[in-house]
Amino acid sequence: MKLAESTIEEDAEVLDPAIGKPYKIVKWPATKQTITVPLLKELLVNTLKSFQFWMYDPISGQAVIVCDDAEYRFIDTRDLICFGENDINLLAKSQIQSDPQYEVCAKSWTGAVAQIMNFKLWSGQRTRVETQLFGPYVGRNIPILSELQKKKKEQARKQKRKEQ
C-alpha cells in the first residue's frame, strides 16, 4: 500500500521558543477516498428487558448499561441507535448515573437518547441519511429552518432601528 507523500514547510513567523527556529508544518494531499464506518448491528427487540441501571464510566469514557444477564459498553453516542424502540424508551425513563464532575459528559448520552426518540432513529426505523445527520447534533437541539429565518429577520429589524 502506497502512503501519501507529505511536504514540509517552515513558518517563518512562528518560532519554537525552546530552540529559536521556525516551526515546521507537515502537509498531506487530500485523500481520494472516504471511509464509511459501519454502524453496530441491530440488537434484538427488548434486549434490555432485565435492565438495572446505566452509568457513565469516566475512566474509559464509555456509557455502561447493566442488565441482569449482560453488560453493554458504548464508546460513541451513535452506537445507541442499535437498540429498539422499547429499549430507547427504557433508557429515556431512567436517569444515567455519574459523578458530579462528569455530569456534562453523562448528559451527552441522555441527549443522544432524546435525539433518537425525537427523530425515531431506533433500529429498524432509520434511514442512512437520518443516521448521518444524527452525529453532528448529538446532545444538541437541531435548529429548525423557520426559526433561524425568524431570528435573522429580527436581527435585521434591530439593526435598522439602531441605524435610524
CA 124, distance to chain mean position in Å, is 21
Name which of 145, 132, 119 is nearest 38 in CA terms: 132
Q: What would the pLDDT profile of 91-121 be if each residue is shown by its tens digit? A: 999 999 999 999 998 999 998 899 888 888 8
CB of 126 within 8 A of CB of 84? no
User: By C-alpha distance, which of 116, 126, 108, 111 is closest to 87?
Assistant: 116
pLDDT at 37: 62
- 97 neighbors 56 (Cβ within 8 angstroms): yes
pTM: 0.58
User: Taking a C-beta distance cutoff of 8 angstroms, is the pair 28, 50 a contact?
Assistant: no
Domain residue spans in the chain?
51-137
Phi first, then psi, for residue 39 (nearest 5°) are -80, 160
CA distance 66 to 51: 6
User: Between residues 146 and 67, which one has the greater pLDDT?
Assistant: 67
| 119 beta partners | none
Give residue 137's pLDDT.
47
Q: How confident is the model at residue 139 (pLDDT cuts 50, 70, 90)?
A: very low
> Which cell goes with 110?
441522555
